[in-house]
Amino acid sequence: MINKIVQNMAEAMAGIRDGSVVLIGGFGSIGQPNALIDGLIEQGAKDLTVVANNAGVGHVGLARLLETGRVRKIVCSFPRTADPVVFEKLWRAGRIELEVVPQGTMAERMRAAGAGIPAFYTPTAVGTALAEGKEEREIRGRKYILEDALAGDVALIEAWEADRWGNLTYKSSARNFNPVMATAAKTTIVQAQHIVELGALDPEKVATPGIFVSRVLHVPYGEPTVT
Amino acid sequence: MNTMVKDSVETLPACQPLTRRQIAERLARDIPEGWYVNLGIGAPLQVADYVPPEREVIFQSENGILGMGPAPAPHEINRWLINAGKQYVTLRTGGSYMHHADSFALIRGGHLDLCVLGAFQVAENGDIANWATTTDSAPAVGGAMDLAAGTPRLWVLMEHTTKTGESRLVRRCSYPLTAIGVVKRVYTNLAVLDVTPDGFAVREMVPGLTLAALQEVTDAPLRLTAT
């Protein structure tokens, strides 16, 4: 019997190695798997590369992980928020490497990784500072740059409902990066508000089919309080 | 940076520059029913307030919303539903959610009819600079480069000059570029201008303003649009 549901955080975080590339879902705080991030801090893996749209708010979740000093590099589109104090401090002190990626290029690089595409051409960022060092090519009269796929060792995902096969649904705009990150990592770890019986999810509403999911932890935390 | 400081807007004779909200209102008049539109964070988001509900214009938000509605009443907040500016919003009847890779496929694939962005500078060749001005804080691009490169019709909403009176309509951008040759039209507090192969063409000006007076506060050469 397939059962991807794990009983505790230690089981969810088992085997995450130092030096891992960790994809973390969410847009701002919505859809960001804060319980799993706390679990990763507890687990202790270091020298991490984190891929996330933002760089954390206040001192919780992603910001708390950065504060531990275990993140060597962050790949994100928008490290500025109302309160990015932890990231800004580390960045100014030269204690964290930043790769700024256009948001759509970031999503597409992970989609490519999940779909077996090693690299792709895009017009986004042509002629800008973010194209520096990238191959440029003209195709049918328009200029493009070559962007590499972006794969993770681990993805941390927040879902709304999950079953034991790892089928997932999401809540409103908390879907955001979660489904595409789930496809792009070797090990995809999910925190879900609700665990349901196999067969209870409407197959028409499953947004992430279970094949992309490795482990599911039940985390019924309620409503997000910040954006 | 352009060091030539032109006369500030306040010294313009006998005309009333538009407020930010009035620029948004003016721009909204030019959006016809049926268009799919992305509004950049900041001032462009106010454009939605001036599209009457009976005119069906569908707003998209980068974090996976198609058919975004206005801000909710305080007792009706869905805490999983935010826009790209991380403010609570609503979903219109008929609206839908998608994940980030699909959201940006929609943007990058040229499916939107219009994107409205704010900017620091727009050049007479359609270049736009809207994501970075200094190296003081960490660079943050978000979805601006994807929207600018991917949307067939890009309009910019911005003040005509900086607070110190420097023109934002320039011959060549001095700030880091977001995309090259993409801006089609600019709405400022003083005028509406098309970007043409021959540079900026003034479509309309606030009452009382003359082309000569507008040119006084504009770095790039202006001409009246051919009628």
CATH code for the domain in which residue B140 is found: 3.40.1080.10
B42 Cβ under 8 Å from any chain A Cβ? no
CA-based nearest distance B108→chain A, Å? 8
Name chain A contacts of B104, Cβ cutoff 8 Å.
103-104, 107-108
Q: Is there a contact between B179 and A178 if contact means CB atoms under 8 Å apart? A: no
Torsion of the alpha carbons at A39, A42, A46 and A52, rounded to the nearest 10: 30
Q: Is there a contact between A225 and B79 if contact means CB atoms under 8 Å apart? A: yes
Q: Does residue B1 belong to any structural domain of this protein?
A: no
d(C-alpha B35, C-alpha B202), whole Å: 24
Q: What's A195's domain CATH number?
A: 3.40.1080.10
Residue B2's pLDDT band (cuts 50, 70, 90): very low
Catalytic residues of B: 62
Q: Is there a contact between B108 and A122 if contact means CB atoms under 8 Å apart? A: yes
Residue B227's pLDDT band (cuts 50, 70, 90): low
Residue B106 has pLDDT above 60, yes or no: yes
pLDDT in tens, A28-48: 999 999 999 999 999 999 999
User: What is the residue range of A200's domain?
Assistant: 5-124+136-218
User: What is the residue range of B72's domain?
Assistant: 9-224
CA-based nearest distance A28→chain B, Å? 7
Q: Does residue B2 belong to any structural domain of this protein?
A: no
Residue B6 has pLDDT above 60, yes or no: no
Residue B7 has pLDDT above 60, yes or no: no
pLDDT given at position B71 = 93
Name chain A contacts of B112, Cβ cutoff 8 Å.
none
ipTM here:
0.96
Q: Does residue B108 belong to any structural domain of this protein?
A: yes
**Percent over 90 (pLDDT), chain A:** 93
Q: Does residue B125 belong to any structural domain of this protein?
A: yes
pLDDT in tens, A96-142: 999 999 999 999 999 999 999 999 999 999 999 999 999 999 999 99
SS3 labels along chain B: CCCCCCCCHHHCCCCCCCCHHHHHHHHHCCCCCCCEEEECCCHHHHHHHHCCCCCCCEEEECCCEEEEECCCCHHHCCCCCECCCCCECEEEEEEEECCHHHHHHHHHCCCCCEEEECCCEEECCCCEECCCCCCCCCCCCCCHHHHHHHCCCEEEECCCECCCCCECEECCCCCCCCECCCEEEEECCCEEEEEECCEEEEEEECCCCCHHHHHHCCCCCEEECCC
pLDDT in tens, A64-99: 999 999 999 999 999 987 777 899 999 999 999 999
Q: Does residue A32 belong to any structural domain of this protein?
A: yes
Phi then psi dihedrals of residue A112, to 5 deg: -60, -45
Name chain B contacts of A111, Cβ cutoff 8 Å.
101
B211 Cβ under 8 Å from any chain A Cβ? no
pLDDT in tens, B147-182: 999 999 999 999 999 999 999 999 999 999 999 999
Q: Locate the chain A residue with the closest alpha carbon to B110.
A: A123
Q: Does residue A224 belong to any structural domain of this protein?
A: no
User: Which residues neighbour A89 within 8 Å (Cβ) at sequence distance 6 or greater?
Assistant: none
What's the rounded mean pLDDT across residues A194-221? 98
Residue B3 has pLDDT above 60, yes or no: no
B145 Cβ under 8 Å from any chain A Cβ? yes
Domain count, chain B: 1
**Per-chain mean pLDDT for chain B:** 93
B98 Cβ under 8 Å from any chain A Cβ? yes
Q: CA dist B196 to B127, B149, B224, Å?
A: 12, 17, 11
CA-based nearest distance A98→chain B, Å? 8
Residue B11 has pLDDT above 80, yes or no: no
Q: Does residue B142 belong to any structural domain of this protein?
A: yes
pLDDT given at position B137 = 77
Domain count, chain A: 1
pLDDT given at position B176 = 95
Task: Find which of A101, A124, A157 to mutate to test the B interface (most B CBs within 10 Å of its CB).
Answer: A124
Q: Does residue B90 belong to any structural domain of this protein?
A: yes
pLDDT given at position B1 = 39
Residue B13's pLDDT band (cuts 50, 70, 90): low
pLDDT in tens, A156-176: 999 999 999 999 999 999 999
Task: Find which of A27, A101, A128, A160 to mutate to test the B interface (most B CBs within 10 Å of its CB).
Answer: A128
Q: Does residue B70 belong to any structural domain of this protein?
A: yes
Residue B113 has pLDDT above 50, yes or no: yes
CA-based nearest distance A209→chain B, Å? 14
